[in-house]
Chains A and B, each alone.
Chain A
Amino acid sequence: MMSMPTQTFRIVVAKPGLDGHDRGAKIVARALRDAGMEVIYTGLHQTPEEIVETAIQEDADVIGVSILSGAHMTVFPKIFALLRERGADDIVVIAGGVIQAEDVPKLQEMGVAAVYDAEQPLQALVDAVTQHATERRARLGL
């Protein structure tokens, strides 16, 4: 059962796999928090199961998945399969990190709403998350 929605967007920032590069994830988490969102940072070394579980428990609008290890084509299909399985595929998934250009369309086809890297301004990311979270709540009539 969904908890009562609040006015504040709830964002899970997640680090999957064994990858330890968390500089970007932490910067993004703080920028989103400073923009007034409720940010839950999972910490490192999360399995897709743990990420999806956190997102459902925390009633997240958006999951921001940060990955710099190159394992994104293994991780994202699992996250989407789990979200569907748990009936939570209304949660928006955004990817960040080192994602090679040819993989971006493949991720988008899978359902990733946006792909970010360190060379875009933080404000652009904050705006995109706000927009996706707003649209999600409108879709769900929240």
Chain B
Amino acid sequence: MNERERIATERAAWENEDVAAFARRRPERRERFHTFSGEELERLYTPADVEIDYSRDLGYPGRYPFTRGPYPTMYRAQPWTMRQIAGYGTAADTNERFRFLIAQGQTGLSVDFDMPTLMGYDSDDPRSEGEVGREGVAIDTLDDLDELFRGIELDKISVSMTINPTAWILLAMYVALAQERGIPLDRLSGTVQNDIIKEYVAQKEWIYPPRPAMRIVRDTILYSTKHMPHYNPVNVSGYHIREAGATAAQEVAFTLAAGKAYVEEVIAAGGNVDDFAPRLSFFFVSQIDFLEEVAKFRAARRIWARTMKEKYGAKKAESMRLRFHCQTAGASCTAREPLNNIVRTTIEALAAVLGGAQSLHTNGYDEALSIPSETAMKIALRTQQIILEESGVAGTIDPLGGSYAVEALTNRIEQRVNEYFEQIDERGGTIACVEQGWLQQEIADAAFDLARKKDAHEFEFVGVTKYRDENGKMPSLDLHAIDPAWERNQIERLRRTKAERDQSAVAAALERLVRAAKDERENLMPYTIDAVKARATGGEIVNALVPLFGRYKELAIF
């Protein structure tokens, strides 16, 4: 009898004797226990329940398959970047918040844009009314981006921009700004989200249909690979997929499927996988189910490493190494008893750290009510600082590695993700699945299933579905206030820039951009950089290409 068999025999005896006798006196609270994603959780995990070959499946941090972490020393050398996203009002308003966060010890910047900027409408467009500067900062022209980073040294701090269908325009503005300030492009570090696939699937910000949109992403990757060696041109994102209601396995499967689609798009254009793959970065949520989330991050690293090596023939370790940003789950935050969200966020942040995140945004306790107030953001940042400086968990690498439960869950997620990869391939690949609405339908099904389980009290939300205090008073919170002047001020700024620019230079730059867009082999980035330098607006650039690319029409699936 080998060791596994011996343990399995012992375990069976324990179940039949100790557990059975004990449960007769004190029955378990539920017949079955499940993770938040609906995976069954066993009573106990032993070495007999986990199929693991240490060297093959876990290995060492910084080495293939990277299960235990992307770097050899992890947080002992380089703590995760504390990157609180911020954005509201005009560029000047957000610049003030950035300076506050830097003064509090934040180590990277992250920009949230308003809906019109994200969707390619200028602030004076009728569709923008009531939305300018509300959910993020309004950026119409290069002048706005310059104001956003006033007094901030772009060669010293990394900047993440959460923007997608118009990502290439903001990247062009960022490059143009660096050039106007005399900063060499190889000194820029940071990330632009630029993950259009998950927009059709989950976040729902789009302009053009998937095929031309993929060409734009391809152009940004090729441009960035050539000119910006420390910049991440895509941040393949599972956050929104999960927030839209997906399970943990779906989050990983659909995100990595998007990553595969970008890899294939660039390879098809003649790119060499080891030239660009090291700069692909990822973004996941950290939800409330602590063990499942830690397992999810570890599984994601292992699957990506295996995919890059086995499917795409990557040779460089950096091409196989998955690095990710993480955000705690907005969807886990409640509007009732909002201070409880500090506790939820702490659990989620701890899962992100124990899962080996490279950067982290922790939500404010007012997440379910509005965009965060300064007080809420400060506590959220302090949460990360307490985990790093006080909890001790950053002193050893992957401390939950080897936990029978965590390894079993890690294996389970890998298995589920591989099943999804097969289904996606059978349906013709990621883009085909997006066009068919299949990924959208899978997520809608999971979201509805979760809503039903919540109604049936299969999952409890403290203060909402259980321990609900109908007489409880809402604490008086100092919520983020909306200033109606932002919209007026921004439209005024836009008018000024438009009045002062050389109109014929703008028209000529846009014409050159359209001509380039007609040739599939041309890269749009240099033409877009010229256009933004001439102070063309985001909306003008977007609209110039609509006749050629068309507009995406959603499949309204529910």
Given contacts A18-B121, A44-B204, contact A23 B244 (CB under 8 A): yes
A122 touches B455 (CB 8 A): yes
Q: Categorize the interface residue count of chain B.
A: 35 or more
Q: Which residues in B have their C-beta under 8 angstroms from that of A17?
A: 115, 130-131
Q: Name the interface residues of A51-86: CB closer than 8 Å to any CB of B.
A: 69-71, 73-75
B204 touches A71 (CB 8 A): no
Binds B, one of A1-9, A26-34, A105-113, A128-136: A26-34
Quick check: is A87 within 8 A (CB to CB) of the other chain? no
Given contacts A27-B451, A69-B131, A74-B129, contact A20 B203 (CB under 8 A): yes
Q: Which residues in A have their C-beta under 8 angstroms from that of B331?
A: 23
Query: Separation in Å of the A41 CB from the closest CB of chain B?
Result: 5
Q: Name the interface residues of A97-111: CB closer than 8 Å to any CB of B.
A: 98, 100-101
Query: Separation in Å of the B470 CB from the closest CB of chain A?
Result: 12
A119 touches B134 (CB 8 A): no
6 residue pairs from A and B, CB less than 8 Å apart:
A18-B127, A18-B128, A22-B244, A31-B448, A43-B554, A98-B368
Quick check: is A141 within 8 A (CB to CB) of the other chain? no
Q: How far is the CA of A27 from the CA of B367 in the complex (A)?
A: 21
A121 touches B556 (CB 8 A): no
Q: Name the interface residues of B179-232: CB closer than 8 Å to any CB of A.
A: 203-205
Given contacts A18-B115, A101-B474, A122-B451, contact A29 B131 (CB under 8 A): no
Quick check: is A89 within 8 A (CB to CB) of the other chain? no
Closest to B367 in A: A98
Q: How far is the CA of A122 from the CA of B116 in the complex (A)?
A: 32
B134 touches A69 (CB 8 A): yes
Q: Which residues in A have their C-beta under 8 angstroms from that of B155?
A: none
Quick check: is B335 within 8 A (CB to CB) of the other chain? yes
Quick check: is B243 within 8 A (CB to CB) of the other chain? yes
Quick check: is B558 within 8 A (CB to CB) of the other chain? yes
A26 touches B444 (CB 8 A): yes
Q: Name the interface residues of B288-308: CB closer than 8 Å to any CB of A.
A: none
Per a CB cutoff under 8 Å, which of B130, B369, B455 touches A123? B455
A27 touches B448 (CB 8 A): yes
Quick check: is A117 within 8 A (CB to CB) of the other chain? yes
Closest to A21 in B: B204
A30 touches B448 (CB 8 A): yes
Q: How far is the CA of A98 from the CA of B131 in the complex (A)?
A: 15
**Chain A count of residues within 8 A CB distance of the other chain:** 35
Query: Separation in Å of the A42 CB from the closest CB of chain B?
Result: 7
Query: Separation in Å of the A124 CB from the closest CB of chain B?
Result: 9
Which of A22, A29, A31, A100 gathers most chain B CB within 10 Å? A22
Q: How far is the CA of A74 from the CA of B243 in the complex (A)?
A: 26
Q: Which residues in A have their C-beta under 8 angstroms from that of B129?
A: 74
B130 touches A75 (CB 8 A): yes
Per a CB cutoff under 8 Å, which of A47, A73, A119 touches B334? A119
- Knowing that A45-B119, A101-B474, A119-B335 are A-B contacts, what are 9 other residue pairs whose CB atoms are under 8 Å apart, sorted by A's residue number? A18-B118, A18-B121, A18-B127, A18-B205, A25-B558, A29-B558, A30-B448, A71-B130, A98-B368
Q: How far is the CA of A123 from the CA of B456 in the complex (A)?
A: 10
A70 touches B135 (CB 8 A): yes
B554 touches A117 (CB 8 A): no
A98 touches B119 (CB 8 A): no
Q: How far is the CA of A43 from the CA of B129 in the complex (A)?
A: 20
Q: How far is the CA of A18 from the CA of B135 in the complex (A)?
A: 11
Q: How far is the CA of A29 from the CA of B448 in the complex (A)?
A: 10
Quick check: is A38 within 8 A (CB to CB) of the other chain? no
Q: Which residues in B have their C-beta under 8 angstroms from that of A43?
A: 554-556
B464 touches A119 (CB 8 A): yes
Which of B115, B118, B370, B464 gathers most chain A CB within 10 Å? B115
Q: How far is the CA of A98 from the CA of B368 in the complex (A)?
A: 7
Q: How far is the CA of A71 from the CA of B131 in the complex (A)?
A: 6
Per a CB cutoff under 8 Å, which of B119, B243, B554, B556 touches A18? B119
- Give 10 closest A-B pairs by Cβ, nearest first: A74-B130, A20-B204, A43-B556, A18-B115, A26-B558, A71-B130, A29-B558, A27-B451, A43-B554, A119-B464
Quick check: is B364 within 8 A (CB to CB) of the other chain? no
A117 touches B335 (CB 8 A): yes
Per a CB cutoff under 8 Å, which of B121, B134, B204, B336 touches A22? B204
Closest to B463 in A: A119
Residues 421-435 of B, flagged 1 when their CB comes within 8 A of A and 0 if not, give 000000000000000
Q: Which residues in A have their C-beta under 8 angstroms from that of B447?
A: 23, 26-27
Query: Separation in Å of the B463 CB from the closest CB of chain A?
Result: 9
Closest to A74 in B: B130
Q: Which residues in A have their C-beta under 8 angstroms from that of B119?
A: 18, 45
Quick check: is B372 within 8 A (CB to CB) of the other chain? no
